[in-house]
């Protein structure tokens, strides 16, 4: 897989060796996460809105109510910045200054396109659902024409993209290694808990394997 080209906007400046531009890394981070933060400006006021997304190749799909300001604004093709963050651990150094976080993140810049073709729109909703929970789409009722009308789907091409990844333990000042302070990494992970069945269920459906074995 080829690399994205760093631009004046996406060149990582602080600790540039943590910057990654290869598609494999970018795609893997986008596939591991499912929440992004969408930054855009309306009349000089910046907003950063959390939302879900799906990915197909070099396209990220966003969706929501057709009445949503975020989606209405973005469908006009205004500049947008979409950020995805995964926190992998707390890096506990011997000094306050050198504390850090192990993370994987992606920043995407560009302009979104309104998805109007009904087949692409339905496929984007499938991808979106499967991105959050693989196996769900084939079990649930698919969107009706009315529901499709009430839903806006946007496509953001992955063009101006950077990833940044921090791994490993603390990097302390030489003189601090003798300090009597515990140092290391507290790994963090998102893990599913016991599923809670909806009390309004009409029949006792068995818990699907894709929920029982859910992991990201
Ligand atoms: C994990 C997660 C996933 C989500 N997934 C989706 C999705 O896939 N599609 C979707 O349409 N929406 C999603 N949302 C909701 C989304 O964040 C917005 O609330 C929603 O899109 C409504 O947007 P709007 O244009 O009506 O709000 P706006 O008109 O943009 O919001 C007006 C004001 O309301 C406040 N506001 C709006 N949303 C939030 C928020 N989430 N938290 C705090 N304040 C807020 C802000 O002050 C904002 O300026 C998700 C939220 C979260 C946290």
- Greatest C-alpha distance within the chain: 67
pLDDT of residue 86: 98
Indicate which atom in ligand 1 lies nearest the CA of residue 50: 17
List pLDDT tens digits, range 156-172.
Answer: 999 999 999 999 999 99
pLDDT of residue 149: 95
pLDDT of residue 71: 95
Q: What CA–CA distance (Å, rounded) separates 140 from 117?
A: 22
pTM: 0.92
Closest CA to 174 of 101, 90, 89, 98: 98
CB of 57 closer than 8 Å to CB of 40:
no
- Is the torsion defined by CA of 157, 162, 36, 29 positive or negative? positive
pLDDT of residue 144: 97
- Ligand 1: residue of 49, 50, 125 to mutate (most ligand atoms within 8 A of CB) is 49
pLDDT of residue 37: 98
pLDDT of residue 18: 84
Taking 70 as the pLDDT cut, the residues of the chain under it are none
Indicate which atom in ligand 1 lies nearest the CA of residue 70: 25
pLDDT of residue 193: 96
Ligand 1 pocket list (CB less than 6 A):
35, 47, 49-52, 63-65, 68-70
Q: Please give the torsion angle defined by the CA atoms of residues 207, 210, 124 and 1, in that order, rounded to the nearest 10 degrees.
A: 180
Using the mean position of ligand 1's atoms as its centre, give its distance from the Cα of residue 43 in Å.
18
Using the mean position of ligand 1's atoms as its centre, give its distance from the Cα of residue 48 in Å.
9
């Amino acid at each position: 897989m080829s690399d994205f080209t760093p631009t004046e906007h996406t060149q990582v400046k602080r600790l540039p060796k943590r910057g990654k531009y290869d598609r494999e890394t970018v795609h893997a981070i986008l596939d591991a996460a499912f929440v992004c933060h969408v930054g855009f400006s309306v009349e000089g006021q910046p907003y950063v809105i959390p939302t879900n997304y799906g990915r197909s190749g070099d396209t990220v799909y966003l969706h929501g109510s057709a009445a949503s300001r975020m989606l209405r604004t973005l469908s006009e093709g205004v500049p947008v910045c979409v950020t995805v963050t995964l926190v992998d651990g707390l890096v506990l150094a011997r000094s306050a200054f050198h504390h850090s976080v192990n993370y994987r993140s992606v920043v995407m810049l560009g302009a979104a396109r309104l998805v109007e073709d009904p087949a692409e729109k339905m496929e984007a909703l499938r991808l979106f659902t499967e991105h959050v929970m693989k196996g769900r789409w084939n079990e649930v009722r698919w969107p009706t024409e009315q529901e499709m009308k009430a839903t806006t789907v946007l496509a953001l091409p992955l063009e101006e993209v950077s990833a940044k990844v921090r791994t490993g333990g603390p990097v302390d000042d030489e003189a601090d290694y003798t300090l009597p302070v515990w140092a290391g990494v507290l790994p963090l992970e998102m893990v599913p808990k016991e599923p809670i069945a909806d009390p309004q269920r009409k029949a006792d459906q068995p818990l699907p394997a894709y929920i029982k074995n859910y992991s990201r």
